[in-house]
Amino acid sequence: MADEDRCSGFMPGERAALPHAPAGPLAGLTFAAKDLFDVAGHPTTYGNPDWARTHPPAVATATAVLALAEAGARFLGKTKTVELAFGLTGENVWYGTPLNPAAPDRFPGGSSCGSASVVARGEADIALGSDTGGSVRIPASYCGIYGIRPSWGAVSLVGARELAPSFDTAGWFAARASALRRAGEVLLPEGGEGPLGPPLRVQEAWVNAQPAVATALKPALEAVESILGPCVQVSTVPHALPFLYEQFRCIQAEEAWATLGAWIAHESPRFGPGVGERFALARDLEPGKAAAARAFRQRFRRRLLGLLGGGAVMAYPTSPLVAPRLDSSPAEQLWVREITIGVTAIAGMAGLAEVSIPAGRANGAPVGLSLVAAPGRDRALLALAERVAERMGLPV
Amino acid sequence: MADEDRCSGFMPGERAALPHAPAGPLAGLTFAAKDLFDVAGHPTTYGNPDWARTHPPAVATATAVLALAEAGARFLGKTKTVELAFGLTGENVWYGTPLNPAAPDRFPGGSSCGSASVVARGEADIALGSDTGGSVRIPASYCGIYGIRPSWGAVSLVGARELAPSFDTAGWFAARASALRRAGEVLLPEGGEGPLGPPLRVQEAWVNAQPAVATALKPALEAVESILGPCVQVSTVPHALPFLYEQFRCIQAEEAWATLGAWIAHESPRFGPGVGERFALARDLEPGKAAAARAFRQRFRRRLLGLLGGGAVMAYPTSPLVAPRLDSSPAEQLWVREITIGVTAIAGMAGLAEVSIPAGRANGAPVGLSLVAAPGRDRALLALAERVAERMGLPV
């Protein structure tokens, strides 16, 4: 593989192709899609050569990909993903780890690493990803672009591979807030507009963040307050974020093994660092743990819907840390994973809509501010993100 | 295969086994699960021998199956399904078509035919099925038992096979309204209780029904009115039900091919009557048709959420016809399919919760009355079904 291919966000080799409508609401824009979305006539690698080898090429195109092309956006090709979407750094040893153009010595974030990279490099206006445990939000924050994890179930995953279905969502990236919103107008169900507020400052997510990250996000939070009024301080989990991480991990493990375990047990595929270990932990999960976590999840979800039912918007750092360095140790990467998912699991466990805004830099790398709303309020959230961007003087 | 096996709702051969909790809210009850739910260590046939041959045995148990066993219900085994869940009669030429004990010369209804049959024969208290286009509701109506298609997304499909994901739901059957409700208390998310009403009489669904069916359901509708007050007459589709059928068919075809087309194109599996033809139609669908249907679906969904948002409950015949005879012609079966899905697509297109109550008999076979509510109101609907059953003197 050429060196250029190894650092590109696009999959190496011939680009998947797809016709697009000559006119439509997204005419003039380009887009790419993570290589877990099917494009008819092309293989879907799911980031792993053994997956590609043991699955026939797609015969139909994923609904979300089709929807963007039908709205006039021009498809540029498939982008790299962490193997089976099970990882947050964005590393892929088979096809190469995409460059993080905003911090070239750091990871791009994953699992939708290629989509984030091509948008951050200005190669595509919009790129589809998927987000189970943070796989759109984290690379958006790491690469300094906009990203949305929509309400669970709001955007079609037909023709896309699954990891943990009760968390899986189809999300997308853009370098401009208006492009993020315009893609939403095509992909999201109708409804959910209207005013949001007040903003809720989720205490534990700010405390959990590195001080430099929290400081860098202050101007963005003030821009939110200038639109929605002063923040109200709240707490989402009485048990704090490490507990939330552990509940998420158990449910994700149970679902990932139920979804992909049969293929793994049957094919014994080769995996890059970390991925195989995570599936082995999923296989060996103590059965009672997931059941207890599912029961907790119901209570957590009810609490969050209560907090957000009236239109309130939570605001907190998308990621508590900037992107880890490419040479960080496995132990450091594991620690980053745990502390990060403690935050991303808030929206994940409750099925909420979350938009990450490229809001500043800390320690020489980008950081994002997340705005999080009740399920179904995606359109309102995208409109709010655009207003915040305007207020901050960011490209809209 | 023994004759007994051919008519049984259970899969032939050794029964899949699973431990259950010694105590819990479902202790003392038995259950079965359609053979598209995984049980660890056993093959999932999805109703088709070529599927079974080309897929490894499950390594994990589906979340919904696990939830019932964890609540103390005793698992009895897997039940037959129409191949790839793509059919409404309940026929399976490979494993045998299960008996409809309430009308032995008629089909049991499908695709969850085995689950309906074992419940109607009193062999299991609860049986899991799945419902994409009516696959729980129709066999419930045909076999004279209770059945629920929950709100889309409400019950986990982790570890279950997909057909058309934006319609697929995990539902269940019971011969007693209390057992239907008790399973719901284990499987459904918390919330959604509270009063429902007024009842809405959906005009086109009553006009669409055979006169004998409509007449047979009158006492059940009166029981609903005695609880919720007099019916308000409404209409859901300005274009009438054949139009709704066609929109449903196009979206289902697009999703079914995106989900299963690669496997079919790669393996060229053998299919029983009708199933292969339906997949061929799905493969050959004109692309623009599904896109137009998806746009219509958004408008339809918004209209239905508007109708039902305040707690209203629609009431109409679950199926416009009783079960077709085992010797009915392919042409007659196609006509039954089209006229039936025109009605079942109301809840399917809008993601609504629907419970079918065994409400009477017409032409010597059972007919069900459906109560349909807004997404998330499943628990209220199950409580209402139990009250209606009490009022009618049915077994609760």
Cα–Cα distances in angstroms (integers) from residue B65 to residues A389, B151, B170, B299, in the given order: 47, 18, 10, 35
> Chain B within 8 Å of A53 (Cβ-Cβ)?
no
Q: What is the CA radius of gyration of chain B?
A: 19
- Put simply, whether A257 touches B (Cβ < 8 Å) is yes
Q: Which amino acid is at B221?
A: L
Closest approach of A328 to chain B, Cα-based (Å): 34
The amino acid present at B191, given as its one-letter code, is G
The confidence score (pLDDT) of residue B274 equals 94
Q: Can you tell me whether residue B359 is helix, strand or coil? A: strand
> At CA B212, angle to CA B181 and CA B359, rounded to 5?
15
Q: What angle do CA A262, B46, A40 make, to 5 degrees?
A: 75
Exposure string for B247-265, b = 16+ CB within 10 A, e = fewer: bbbbbbbbbbbbbbbbbbb
Q: Is B191 on the interface with A (CB under 8 A)?
A: yes
Report d(CA A171, CA A265) in Å as an integer: 29
pLDDT of residue B361: 97
**CATH code (residue B42):** 3.90.1300.10
Looking at CA atoms only, how far is residue B298 from chain A in angstroms?
Answer: 6
Q: Among B33, B61, B36, B32, which Cα is nearest to B51's?
A: B36
- Residue B291 near chain A (CB below 8 Å): yes
* Number of other CB atoms surrounding residue B323 within 10 Å: 28
pLDDT digits (tens, 9 = 90+) for B24-66: 999 999 999 999 999 999 999 999 999 999 999 999 999 999 9
Closest CA to A37 of A168, A158, A160: A160
Q: Do B254 and A156 touch (CB under 8 A)?
A: no
CB atoms within 10 A of CB B376: 18
B263 domain-assigned: no
User: Given CB atoms, is B289 within the 8 Å cutoff of chain A?
Assistant: no
Task: Look at residue B373 and give its three-state secondary structure.
Answer: strand
Minimum-distance CB partner of A258 among B153, B159, B294: B159
φ, ψ of residue B375 to 5 degrees: the values are -55, 135
B218 has catalytic annotation: no
Task: Find residues 332-391 of chain B whose CB sits inside 8 Å of chain A.
Answer: none
Cβ distance B158 to A152 less than 8 Å, yes or no, reads: no
State the Cα–Cα distance between residues B186 and B322, nearest whole angstrom. 31
Buried b (16+ CB within 10 A) or exposed e, A256-289: bbbbbbbbbbeeebebbebbbebbeebeebeeeb
In this structure, is residue B257 part of a structural domain?
Answer: no
* B31 interfacial to chain A (CB closer than 8 Å): no
Looking at the structure of chain B, the number of domains it has is 1
From residue A92, give the alpha-carbon distance in Å to each of A81, A156, B251: 7, 26, 35
Q: Is the dihedral of CA A247, A248, A249, A251 positive or negative?
A: positive
B301 inside 8 A of chain A by CB: yes
Residue contact A258–B166, C-beta within 8 A: no
Note whether residue B280 is domain-resident: no
CA atoms within 13 A on the CB side of B47: 35
Q: Is the pLDDT of residue B221 over 80?
A: yes
**Residue A153 pLDDT:** 94
Average pLDDT, chain B: 96
Looking at the domain assignment, is residue A129 inside a domain?
A: yes
- Whether B2 has a pLDDT exceeding 80, the answer reads no
User: Which DSSP category does B97 fall into?
Assistant: P
Could you tell me the CA-to-CA distances from A163 to A8, A26, A321, A334 in Å, in that order? 24, 29, 25, 19
Shortest Cα distance, chain B CAs vs residue A185, angstroms: 12
Task: Check: CB of residue B360 under 8 Å from CB of residue B219.
Answer: yes
Residues of chain A with pLDDT under 50: none
- The answer to the question of residue A332 being in a domain is yes
* Single-letter code of the amino acid located at A288: G
**Residue B302: is its pLDDT beyond 80?**
yes
- Residue A57 CA to residue A43 CA, distance in Å, equals 4
Catalytic residue among B135, B141, B319, B370: B135
Q: Which of A115, A135, A141, A151 is catalytic?
A: A135
Assign B198 to helix, strand or coil: coil
B74-79 and B30-34 beta bridge pairing: parallel
Angle between helices B177-187 and B63-70 (to 10 degrees): 110
Span B325-384, pLDDT tens digits = 999 999 999 999 999 999 999 999 999 999 999 999 999 999 999 999 999 999 999 999
- HEC profile for chain A? CCHHHHHCCECCCCCCCCCCCCCCCCCCCEEEEECCECCCCCCCCCCCHHHHHHCCCCCCCCHHHHHHHHCCCEEEEEECCCHHHCCCCCCCCCCCCCCCCCCCCECCCCCCHHHHHHHHCCCCCEEEEEECCCCCHHHHHHHCCEEEECCCCCCCCCCECCCCCCCCEEEEEECCHHHHHHHHHHHCCCCCCCCCCCEEEEHHHHHHCCHHHHHHCHHHHHHHHHHHCCCEEECCCCCCHHHHHHHHHHHHHHHHHHHHHHHHHHHCCCCCCCHHHHHHHHHCCCHHHHHHHHHHHHHHHHHHHHHHCCCCEEEEECCCCCCCECCCCHHHHHHHHHHHHHHHHHHHHHCCEEEEEEEEEECCEEEEEEEEECCCCHHHHHHHHHHHHHHHCCCC
Active-site hit among B8, B78, B80, B111: B111
- Give me B129's structure tokens: 């099925």
Q: Three-class SS string for B16-85?
A: CCCCCCCCCCCCCCEEEEECCECCCCCCCCCCCHHHHHHCCCCCCCCHHHHHHHHCCCEEEEEECCCHHH
**Beta-bridge partner residues of A171:** A129
Strand A169-174 relative to strand A126-131, pairing: antiparallel
- Is A104 domain-assigned? yes
Q: For residue B261, how many C-alpha atoms fall within 13 Å in the half-sphere facing its CB? A: 28
Chain A residues in contact with B156 (beta carbon < 8 A): 165-166
User: What average pLDDT score do residues B287-315 get?
Assistant: 93
Q: Which long-range contacts (CB under 8 A, 24 or more apart) does A384-387 make?
A: A384/A196, A384/A227, A384/A228, A384/A313, A384/A355, A385/A146, A385/A177, A385/A180, A385/A181, A385/A355, A385/A357, A386/A177, A386/A178, A386/A180, A386/A181, A387/A227
- Using a 10 angstrom Cβ sphere, with 0-12 exposed, 13-18 middle and 19 or more buried, the burial of residue B181 is buried
Q: Is pLDDT of B240 > 90?
A: no
The length of chain A, given as a count of residues: 396
CA quadruple B239, B242, B243, B248: dihedral positive or negative? positive
- What pLDDT, on the 0 to 100 scale, is given for residue A63? 95
Sign of CA dihedral B382, B384, B385, B391: positive
Half-sphere exposure of B289 (CA within 13 A, CB side): 18
What is the spatial distance between Cα B97 and Cα B77, in angstroms, rounded to a whole number?
17
Round to whole Å and give the CA distance between A86 and A111: 7
B382 and B180 in contact (C-beta within 8 Å)?
yes
Q: How far is A289 from chain B (nearest CA, A)?
A: 12
Total residues belonging to chain B: 396
Active site residue B111: yes
- Provide the residue range defining the domain that includes B56: 3-242+285-392
A141 has catalytic annotation: no
In a domain, A256, yes or no: no
B163: left (phi over 0), alpha (psi -120 to 50) or beta: alpha
pLDDT confidence of residue B3: 77
Q: Residue B239: what pLDDT?
A: 75
Instruction: Compute the distance between CA of residue B142 and CA of residue A171 in angstroms, rounded to an integer.
Output: 41
In angstroms, the CA B195 to CA A24 distance is 44
The residues facing A37 across adjacent strands are A160
How many C-beta atoms lie closer than 10 Å to residue B367's C-beta?
30
In a domain, B358, yes or no: yes
Q: Could B258 and A302 be called an inter-chain contact, meaning their C-beta atoms sit closer than 8 Å?
A: no
pLDDT digits (tens, 9 = 90+) for B120-146: 999 999 999 999 999 999 999 999 999
